[in-house]
Amino acid sequence: MARHAGPLLEMNGITKRFPGVLALDRVDLAVRRGEVHLLLGENGAGKSTLMKILSGACQKDEGDIFLDGRPIEIRSPFHARTLGISMIYQELNLVPNLTVAENIFLGREPSRGGFVLRRRMEGDARRLLRRMQADIAPDALAKDLPVAQQQLVEICRALSLDSKVIVMDEPTSPLTERETTALFRLIRSLKASGVSVIYITHRLEEARLVGDTVTVLRDGRRVGGAPARSLSNERLVRMMVGRTLSQVFPALGRPRPGAVLDVKGLARAGVFGPVSFSLAPGEILGVAGLIGSGRTELARSLIGADPRTAGTIAIGGRAVRIASPRDARRAGLCLLPEDRKAQGLVLGLPVVQNVSLASLERLSRFGFLRLGAERREVQGLVDRLRIRTPSLEQLVRNLSGGNQQKVVLARWLAVEPRILIFDEPTRGIDVGARFEVYKLITALARQGVGIVLVSSDLLEVLGLSHRVAVMRGGRIAAILPRKSANPERVMRLAMGLTREGVRKGHGPSRSAPDGAART
Amino acid sequence: MRRELGAAWALLGLVVLLSAATRAFGGGDFLSVGNLTNILAQVCVTAVLAAGASFVIFGGGIDLSIGSLLAVSAALAAGALKADWPVPLACAAGVLTGAAFGAANGVLVAWLGLPPFIATLGMMGIARGCTYVYLGGAPLFSFPASFRLLSEGRLAGIPAPVIVMGAVFGLGSLILARTRFGRAVYALGGNEEAARLSGIPVRRLKASLYVAGGAAAGLAGILLAARLDSAEPQAGDGYELDAIAAVVMGGASLSGGVGTIGGSLVGALIMGVVRNGLNLLNVSSHWQKVAIGGIILAAVLFDVMRRRRQS
């Protein structure tokens, strides 16, 4: 078959309307054969909608799609696959109780007379896995595999379909550092065999490591595209959020002398540590690191949500015993958990009850709630944080992601903490709300609250922190002052690469634990 | 708020329907003060059980053992009466028995981590077995007249068990709506991890819900023993399902965090009204079971469909 000379895949003028929203506005995308094409953008920029159209999960309203120069209409996910377009979603889609081989050939098992030819199927699966240099047994059950290997199985499935285009939606978010490097290696080999990869991400620093070409979306429009190497972070951020970095991140105040938090030798055997650091009042300490590096686990152990096996914590110079989140709260140490819906909010309760949840002791007398005082206080916080809600009785379920995050924040402001730990404070919230959260974080620091900012958004960590602690393999690999922290240096430390690109030995590396694998 | 209103409308509709039916088919006067008081008195045991079950269910748990706890509490209270304990002391012994078994449920669920369904299923068997052992398989009956006042006594024309029921629901409603404890219950049922990270002592709280459920079962057992003038080993068999059905019909979600105790009362009344109406209409008890089951399904289905339309 003669190869078309132009791009392998072209999407021209794609428009998609949802009730009340123009999700995509005449978006163009051109992907060459054998390239890794980065699709960058904030939440709500339209990346997912565009890819859903490409994978047949949703239908475009206008525009044309060409594959190998021929116009195509993609009618369903099944149809997309037969055309050679496969999508690997963030939430992996394996059937847990089937084997690897059964998953790869699900629905098209090699068979004769209605009976599955198991041996042939496993042989085919083994060949595919070998091509990927994946050390996975074809007869292993999918549910027994770590997330990274499940992802590999999905990629094998895509390859078994002779896919020409494989779309990966934030593929590294559940992966540990070792798995991330392995995935990048795999993507390069896919490329070498002529497969095109569309790679959706909002992490600039990792994009640069694998990408050839970049397309940036914002508010449903294509705002630009260029070879990956030619774009600076500054430029990419400007394209993604429509502002310069200095407009994104508010100016930092100056930390005060002394230490509000002193952590020595904190560890949870087999999970993280030992970790030591101290935090000044008014200081923002960023914590960077890949999934599985122990960031979230450290945060949870600090407030007593998970057990710890060693270490001491001092607050304001006095040693404190923290065995539960209740102890931590009483000592003035609070956590905004990474998964707002699963760990932060009670979605079925109104705003007022969510905000007052951690202050019930103070807001009651002899066990009876002072309802008036509660409402006044919550109203004050709602105004101060500009939480957009029709009333205090509105169920939190009905608020937007950004406003939900502010509700959790309001709950902790109500207890007037001395130290506030933010775990992924801007995950899944839109650009405008992000800026507001940044402003709130810096304003809190100016008031003297010590802040630990855990985030997988490297620019966020670098833009908001006085110092950056980089975690790897459960330990702090380095704490960099603001001046000497740049994305490349932090990324290398996080992945354990020296300047020459050789891996240093490092501590226990584990597959992503349950808590961290969620995105 | 609107969900238990829905249950109240359903109750009203059933009352209208049944009074029209009894009038048309000559089943006696459904709407007479006497009959309505009768319904209230009949529904007391289920309603008090449902009040306790409400705490457990709003907090995200389930308690299958309350029917058995009712029996074991009634048996112990009866034993105390037979041993000539003063009536208040015997009643307290009954309630405390229920609370103690409930505490065992709480420890199993909150500290030993058993799923509530399994823990209370086990306790259901244990408590029922204890009742048979204690009673030797035969009922205890003929209690002092002062004990039977709990069934036959009236204050301003209101039967004593109805007063007890009113007090239980008044207290329960106050606790759930106005206290720190009540708030924490809804937070626990709505999202246990969020409640824990907010510094709520979730284990203690969870355990206390089963204690409340057990104490309510103990009280229900005493009301039943007073009404029958007898404590029987098979007392309250299957009542746990009536109580759970009442709570769910009252608008609660079995996954927790949603519901009001007033709704549970309405749910219990719906079942009482239907039973009474069908009795007056001379419908056989076999068909009544079918009707009650159907009404439970209809109530929950209605709620599910309304929520689906809202989202």
pLDDT one digit per residue (tens) for chain A, 519 residues: 456 678 899 999 999 988 777 889 999 999 999 999 999 887 778 888 899 999 998 899 999 999 999 999 999 988 998 899 998 887 778 898 999 999 999 888 888 888 888 999 999 999 888 877 778 899 999 988 888 888 888 888 888 888 899 999 888 777 777 778 888 888 888 898 889 999 988 777 777 778 899 999 988 899 988 888 888 877 887 888 777 767 788 889 999 999 999 999 999 998 998 999 999 999 999 999 887 788 999 999 999 999 999 999 999 999 999 999 999 999 999 999 988 889 999 999 999 999 999 999 999 999 999 999 999 999 999 999 999 899 999 999 988 888 999 999 999 999 999 999 999 998 877 777 888 899 999 999 999 999 999 998 888 899 999 999 999 989 999 999 999 888 888 888 888 875 534 344 443 333 333 333 333
Instruction: Report the relative pairing of strands A21-31 and B230-231 from DSSP bridges.
Output: unpaired
Q: Helix, strand or coil for residue A36? A: strand
d(CA A129, CA A100): 10
Q: How far is A412 from chain B (nearest CA, A)?
A: 8
CB contact B180 to A (< 8 Å): yes
Q: Give me the residue from B190, B199, B253 closest to A346, CB to CB.
A: B190
| pTM for this model (two decimals) | 0.81
Closest CA to A260 of A314, A316, A203, A321: A316
Across the beta sheet with A310-315, the strand order is A272-279, A261-268, A310-315, A318-320
- Compute the distance between CA of residue B56 and CA of residue B52 in angstroms, rounded to an integer: 7
- Closest to A326 (Cβ–Cβ): which among B179, B180, B199? B199
The CA angle A268-A418-A466, to the nearest 5 degrees, is: 80
Contact B199 A305 (CB under 8 A): no
- Min Cα distance A391 → chain B (Å) is 15
Do A346 and B196 make contact, defined as CB atoms within 8 angstroms?
Answer: no
Q: Which residues contact B217 (CB under 8 A, 6 or more apart)?
A: B49, B52, B65, B66, B67, B69, B70, B73, B98, B102, B236
| Rounded Cα–Cα distance for residues A191 and A113 (Å) | 38
ipTM beyond cut 0.95: no
Q: What is the largest CA-CA distance in chain B?
A: 61
Residue at token pair 């009344």: B269
- Are the beta carbons of B198 and A361 separated by less than 8 Å? no
Out of B180, B187, B258, closest to residue A364 by CB: B180
* Residues 6 or more apart whose Cβ sits within 8 Å of residue A135: none
User: Does A346 contact B178 at a Cβ distance shorter than 8 Å?
Assistant: no
Pair of tokens at residue A368: 């009876």
DSSP letter assigned to residue A399 = S
- The minimum CA-CA distance between A358 and chain B, rounded to whole Å, is 5
Partner residue opposite A353 with nearest CB, options B181, B183, B201: B183
B194 with A324: Cβ contact below 8 A:
no
Residue A138: phi and psi, rounded to 5, are -65, -25
Q: Cβ neighbours of residue A268 under 8 Å, at least 6 residues apart? A: A297, A301, A306, A307, A308, A309
A87-102 b/e with 16+ CB inside 10 Å = b? bbbeebebeeeebbbb
Strand partners, A356: none
- Whether A325 and B179 lie within 8 Å, measured CB to CB: no
Contact partners, residue B285, CB within 8 Å, separation at least 6: none
Q: How far apart are CA A242 and CA A235, in angstroms?
A: 10
Measure in Å the smallest separation between the Cα of B115 and chain A Cα atoms.
Answer: 20
Partner A contacted by B198 (CB < 8 A): yes
- Would you say the C-alpha torsion B48, B53, B54, B55 has a positive or negative sign? positive
Q: Which two tokens stand for residue B143?
A: 């209690």
Q: Are A442 and A357 in contact (CB under 8 A)?
A: no
Half-sphere exposure in the Cβ direction for A212 (13 Å, CA): 15
